[in-house]
Structure 1
């Protein structure tokens, strides 16, 4: 049912989710949804918690092969430029952020996601650059979702490299 709720959230947003739509998408009786989720707030909170859990694991996996600054930039460019393959995840992320503006429980969930994603980035960049990079990536991903005429990959790469700053010389040991 939570996966069905996430599908409805992608298609209809928080404003469009209903128990009935989730039941139809999950192909279960309406009573099953209302039994497990008495309120839409509870349904959304649990669905978004599932999304954050899944997304955290997916995000971690994106960086497992990063061994250099160039590898990091390549992964980040792909994250922004992936388009339709990451559309569902991006839409859910932005729906969660918007809903969190009015719901303290969801705000805590977005805080957990932000700390987690920034911790992944900080392994490669340090905490300050990770926060700047996180903001840049979210903004670029949103613009990519909203625009048909996205910047060229080279422009995305340049923005990421500028945010990262100049390469640091290797530390001597």
Structure 2
């Protein structure tokens, strides 16, 4: 049958499964993510999920690795536009106050990633790589300790803003970034 031949030679199937895994995690959380839910979301037979991934943990690790790479790339892209320290500050403010980090789906997936990484060493390594990439981008303009503080600030404000009834606005974020990068205290 022509339709079956196309499905068997579906070169995008593995990627669809990974993308579907992230969708399922965002909707149901890691604890309620199953092979069946992922297969249904990807529009593939259940056997395809287990064919491409030996375990649910290996699939989740691959999905979280993709999330980390995409987030790192977006962070790096914003930081690469900066040509000086002031431009770097503006990039950080954009990352925090804009849609790079503050997008609800990214935040939800990041919460799940942190919780999963705490109990799974392979994913913990993914998190460490993400942090290292962010810090390396920041260290083009700031000393390592300031870069580390800014990295934590990016994620921390995003997390707080996602649940705070009075989230920090761009001017407040700008003030905080300025205090950290200039040592200003008011």
Same fold (TM over 0.5): yes
Work out whether 1:37 is the aligned partner of 2:53.
yes
Structure 2 gaps of 5+ residues are 1-16
TM-score by length of 1: 0.88
Residues 150 and 180 in structure 2, CA contact (< 8 A), matched pair in contact too: yes
Q: Which residue of 2 aligns with 1:10?
A: 26
Separation in 2 of the partners of 1:91 and 1:36? 25
> Measured at CA, do residues 152 and 55 of structure 1 come closer, stay the same or move farther in structure 2, by a change above 3 Å?
closer
Separation in 1 of the partners of 2:125 and 2:169? 35
Structure 1 residue 89: Cα displacement: 2.3
Residues 80 and 144 in structure 1, CA contact (< 8 A), matched pair in contact too: no
Q: Deviations over 1:26-81 (max 9, x none)?
A: 11111111222232111101111122222222221112211233322222122112
Q: Which residue of 1 aligns with 2:132?
A: 115
Work out whether 1:86 is the aligned partner of 2:103.
yes
Q: Which residue of 1 aligns with 2:73?
A: 57
Residues 80 and 137 in structure 2, CA contact (< 8 A), matched pair in contact too: no
SS of equivalent residue, structure 2 residue 141: helix
Residues 36 and 46 in structure 2, CA contact (< 8 A), matched pair in contact too: yes
Residue in structure 1 matching 2:89, options 48, 60, 73: 73
Work out whether 1:158 is the aligned partner of 2:155.
no
> Measured at CA, do residues 112 and 135 of structure 1 come closer, stay the same or move farther in structure 2, by a change above 3 Å?
same
Q: Which residue of 2 aligns with 1:47?
A: 63
TM-score by length of 2: 0.82
Separation in 2 of the partners of 1:86 and 1:10? 12
Structure 1 residue 152: Cα displacement: 2.4
Structure 1 gaps of 5+ residues are 168-173
Separation in 1 of the partners of 2:140 and 2:103? 23
Separation in 1 of the partners of 2:173 and 2:28? 29
Separation in 1 of the partners of 2:94 and 2:28? 27
Separation in 2 of the partners of 1:132 and 1:165? 13
Task: Decide which structure has the larger Cα Rg and report it.
Answer: 2
